[in-house]
Structure 1
């Protein structure tokens, strides 16, 4: 019921306009062991390259251990401890192999009137990230900064504001060290049909360019959803997602450049299987 984390500002509109839109071919299979561990194998084909990964996740009480191995020889281990001594407090440690110096420790704290996230690299001169949000479920204001202890410079500082009511969410964020301003909104038109519309406008002060994206979604039935979007660059996208059994999805998406019809359209396929 609180304001959430900084990453939640504008998230509803971003998900509507971006989530599940892709032009790759992806297959994901998840199985569960008798001990409760979830094992997921995923493979993605992008152009002529194929990227694969295997992930194992085990949760015992408030501790989750996540181990992921990728086809580019990266082993990533993440340990998450929820309710870490204080209600709403979560600690996350991520250690990659073989580059252990790229590891990261993170602390999240969620309160009815605040959301805090802090992380730092596990090396002698780490990159430190901090974000904080104040407010409630109706209005929230926050900031997101990153400081490089090696150079003594702030590599990131952003700010955001969001308003939420029963069926509409509006957000404004200042990004890229104040160089761009983004305004977005998400409107749930029909709850029963999960019909929603949204838009996002970004103004770049350095290039003096505006980018506008519109999108919508609608549930044809309880297991089938269609989405569409269009941006000011002339790119139109559409997708249909069907949940043919609980948590198992088939997704078909396409993308067309309306300013260059001579180019072939792009098509993406995704299949997610869970027992």
Structure 2
């Protein structure tokens, strides 16, 4: 079947605003209008399908170099339900990043923290706490990384279920990496540990 993909863009009908109209012929339900707005401290994108019961999407972020707040959601007008509902708050400083996110249509809350201990050795520590409202389960993961030399880095992490993993990564030539990793379940030490080897080559 022959299909025609078409996109019409109206660039800046107002400062920072862009309008995009797209459709696939002969599919009459494929039409969509999207509005994008960009500002020094904000970015917004919204789209709506050109049907009787369209899917409406909205995403936006507001903030500066230190604090940002954003959301990403989709609403199905046919069912009257949200098919996507995410939100996040992020704080950034010279040596740390902290964030709080709500995902899975409000079912999962994640809090994470990343702190650079020593920029000279790329030493950092981090932690993430995840809570599921539907299952009332919590998962806590802590991790660290350290550069043994400018070309070799080691990383390790452990969660509250006893799963521990570690890797060592070496850049043996520019942009080419070899990685050796391992994982063990400390709660079931009788099980065999997992060991992996990865090689990434770039010309």
Scaled by the length of structure 1, the TM-score of the pair is 0.57
Partner residue in 2 for 1:209: 137
**Matches of 1:193 and 1:261, distance apart in 2:** 32
**Matches of 1:112 and 1:226, distance apart in 2:** 38
Partner residue in 1 for 2:62: 134
Partner residue in 2 for 1:260: 188
Partner residue in 2 for 1:251: 179
2:162 to 218, 234, 254: 234
**Matches of 2:34 and 2:178, distance apart in 1:** 34
Root-mean-square deviation (CA), in Å? 3.3
Structure 1, unmatched stretches of 5+, are 1-83, 91-100
Q: Deviations over 1:96-136 (max 9, x none)?
A: xxxxx99x999876643123455789x99875543211010
Report the structure, 1 or 2, having the larger strand content: 2
Distance 1:108 1:192, change over 3 A: farther
Q: Which has the higher contact order (CA 8 A, sep 6+)?
A: 1
Partner residue in 2 for 1:114: 42
In the TM superposition, residue 212 of structure 1 has moved relative to its aligned partner by 0.2
Scaled by the length of structure 2, the TM-score of the pair is 0.75
1:172 to 100, 124, 130: 100
In the TM superposition, residue 172 of structure 1 has moved relative to its aligned partner by 0.9
**Matches of 1:109 and 1:247, distance apart in 2:** 36
**Matches of 1:111 and 1:223, distance apart in 2:** 39
Partner residue in 1 for 2:86: 158
**Matches of 1:225 and 1:144, distance apart in 2:** 35
Distance 1:270 1:125, change over 3 A: farther
**Matches of 1:228 and 1:162, distance apart in 2:** 24
Secondary structure of 1:259's counterpart equals: helix
**Matches of 1:125 and 1:272, distance apart in 2:** 47
Secondary structure of 2:188's counterpart equals: coil
CA contact (8 A) 2:147 2:154 kept: yes
Q: Deviations over 1:253-273 (max 9, x none)?
A: 111111011111112221111
Distance 1:219 1:131, change over 3 A: same
Partner residue in 2 for 1:274: 202
| Count of matched residue positions in the alignment of Structure 1 and Structure 2 | 182
Which residues in structure 2 correspond to 1:1-275 (within 5 Å)?
Answer: 111-117=39-45, 128-148=56-76, 151-275=79-203
The 10-residue stretch of structure 1 (202-211 or 183-192) with the greater mean CA deviation from structure 2: 202-211
